[in-house]
Each structure stands twice: as structure tokens, then as C-alpha cells.
Structure 1
């Protein structure tokens, strides 16, 4: 009969001098998303200001090349009638149409990667917190799904 053994080796250590110097520090033990080692995440906020995220433009994503649906979206948007104008204005209208359609298609097809990663990571944290022998397959499945999402996100950042 196989025994189920859990051992926790992840720790963060600090002395009082370090703690007094770095007052706004938070340490979290994250979910083991792609291995059996749980990463330790240390956050240091020098100022208590919220970061404002600038609105990002839409850029072509290399991962779209892996999906045949993207080519269909491009063809459909490119074949749509344009309002008219000079040759370059027609091309600009078609490019804008492609951009808008790809953005909507991407959202419908892939949704928000960050949200999906966070949701799956939260599920994984819950399973790992209360882990027992029967949770092994579920944990492996979630880790596999997260790994796939992270690969796609990595492709986006490498681009």
C-alpha cells in the first residue's frame, strides 16, 4: 500500500533589521503550477500608490497563426466592402476592420489569459492546500492546463 506523504520545505526568513528596513513587504506561497515546488513570491511596495495600467493597443499575436480560425476572420474582414477613398485609404480601412475583428475573435476564442490563469491557479491552490491522495489526477490536470496557457502567454511575450 502506497503512503501519501506531504512535506513543506518552502520558507521565507528575515531578521528584525530587514523587517524594519522593508516595512511594506508581503510574502506569499504560490500554487505549484508546473511542478511540485511551490514558488515564494515577495512583494515590496516602496510607495502606497496604485499602478495605473495604460490602455494597450491591439497587436498581431503570433499564436493566432496556430489557429485556422484567425485566417477565416482575416479573409472575411478583408473581403468586406469599404466606404471608398483612395487606394491607401481602402487598405487602411481593411486593416482597421481586420484589427477589430481579430480582437473580437480573440476575446471570444481565448478570453482573457490572465483571468483564466488566475482562476485555474486559485483552483489549484485550493486542491493543494487540502491535498490528499485522490486529488493527484485533478492537480496534474490543472497543472497541465495552466502550463498550456502559460506557453501561449510566453509566445505572446516572446513576440
Structure 2
């Protein structure tokens, strides 16, 4: 059993169960996979963050972007609105909303410093303000890890960020594709090759073979209209 701390130290580790023809015990091989250098970084899909809803500016950003998409002359109206929302939210998240973890760390450090100061009306007011702001950001951090961990039974106000972080990490590792077999049973691990194999598979799957004989298919269709009904 690997602990979350060990998994964070070795995120690419893989454990394989091998077969044996001379024993009823299965040998184990622990492979410490290194990050592939030189491969292009995978393009991440856009995800609407539920924690953004705790900021009233989010609604303003979406409304402005949607109105801008409505007046765009090219393309479909819905597509334009969604694309404007995506671009605006990403820009707002980067320049205005900020990185949740760094915000929390900064406020915690500030709170520690305030608590060491001599008591005064100004210090007490600042202490209260920092605590309120820190709790708001901790709530946003909870929302973020809840969304990534995909746990529907998450209880509101029940903070356990390290647990949800571990769940999200396990889900990310489970979804990671180390390699893939192509149609000729050849193993590929290069990102570009993996992408080509996936695209080729679905192109073949959804490309018609131009069939001309449908008798076998029609035999499986049960008639719903009888001769008397006609």
C-alpha cells in the first residue's frame, strides 16, 4: 500500500503484476517512470470552476462576454457566446481571481504575523478582516478540490483538503494514458503517436464501408405494422 505522501514523491510510479509458469505467486515489478522530456505539453480542456461562483464578479464577466458573443457577426451565436465566456473567464481567473493556494498561504502568513502583535483596535479589526477573508478563500479551495475529486458525498463546511487532494491525484493518475496499442498490435508511448492511434481508431469506427447488402440487418428489425393495419 502506498501512502499519499509517497505517491506525491513518485507520481509516475507503476506497479505491474506479472505471470509465472513455475509458481502460484505473481511477481511484482515496480517501474519508476520518468517524465518524458521534449514532448509537447498536453492541451488542457477548459473547466468552469465552481469556486468562481463565490465571487460576484464571475457573473459580471459571464454577462459581458455573453453580450459580446451575441453581436459577433461570424459563426454561430451560441458558439460565439461560449467561446467569449471561456476566453474571458480564463483571463479573469489569471489576472483578477488569482491562484487559490497562493492566496491562502499569503493570508495564513499574514494572520500569523497579526496574532503576534500587541492588541489594539486597529490590530483587532485587521485580525477580524484577515480571518473572514481567509475563510472565504478556504471555502473556495474546498470547492476546487471537491470538483476535482468528483466526490458527490462531500459535506459542506467539512474541510479535509489533503484528503480531497489525494482523491483528485488518484483520479488524475487513473486517467493517465502511458501508452496504447495500434491496429497492428504495436505499442506506442510517444504523445504524438498515441494521439494518432486514437484519431485513426475513431476515424475507422465512424467511417462508412459503403455497404450494399442489408438483408441480415433487416431480419433483426421486428415489424410493428401488420398487414391488416395497412
TM-score, length basis structure 2: 0.37
Whose RCO is larger (CA < 8 A, sep 6+)? Answer: 1
TM-score, length basis structure 1: 0.50
